[in-house]
Amino acid sequence: MFEYLGNKINKTIKKFKDYNKLTEINIASTIKEIKKTLINSDVNYNVAKDITDKIKKKAIENNIIESVSPGKMLTKIINDELTKSMGNEKSEIKLNKKTSIILILGLQGSGKTTFSGKLALHFKKKKKNVLLKKCDI
């Protein structure tokens, strides 16, 4: 899912390589594309709107620094807002002393198996016993 989201946002930002500066018109078209991408990635409409509104406000307020390319500056703004929306703080998963069950749900092809393997490896490195179980409908 994040790979899809990253690819779509990168494609959107690459359109700005030819521009010398960002204008309200090309910012608006980018914001529209990003909002559509977030919604297609199952992000709640209100959350997607909130994130894109903040990105648009920062892009217009910052008046894009001359020495930085518009695409790079917009990429930084988008990255900052998406990071903020997911939480700025790193936190550990707290497991109880007995058996803990972690249920991972998602659409087909969204990376559940890969994520599960990486999470299992993370816990194994912390000396935890891990069991992975596939449970398709």
Domain membership of residue 41 as a residue range: 2-86
- Give pLDDT tens digits for 40-59: 877 888 888 998 888 888 87
- Give pLDDT tens digits for 48-87: 899 888 888 887 776 555 556 677 777 788 888 888 887 7
Q: Are residues 9 and 56 in the same domain?
A: yes
Does pTM top 0.75 for this prediction? no
Q: Are residues 56 and 114 in the same domain?
A: no
Backbone angles phi, psi at 118, to 5 degrees: -65, -40
- B/e letters for 62-74, b = 16+ CB within 10 Å, e = fewer, are eebeeeebbbebb
Residue 91 lies in a domain: no
The answer to whether the CB of 30 falls within 8 A of the CB of 74 is yes
Structure confidence at residue 120 as a pLDDT band (50, 70, 90): very high
CA 69: distance to chain centroid?
22
Residue 92 lies in a domain: no
Output the pLDDT for position 44: 84
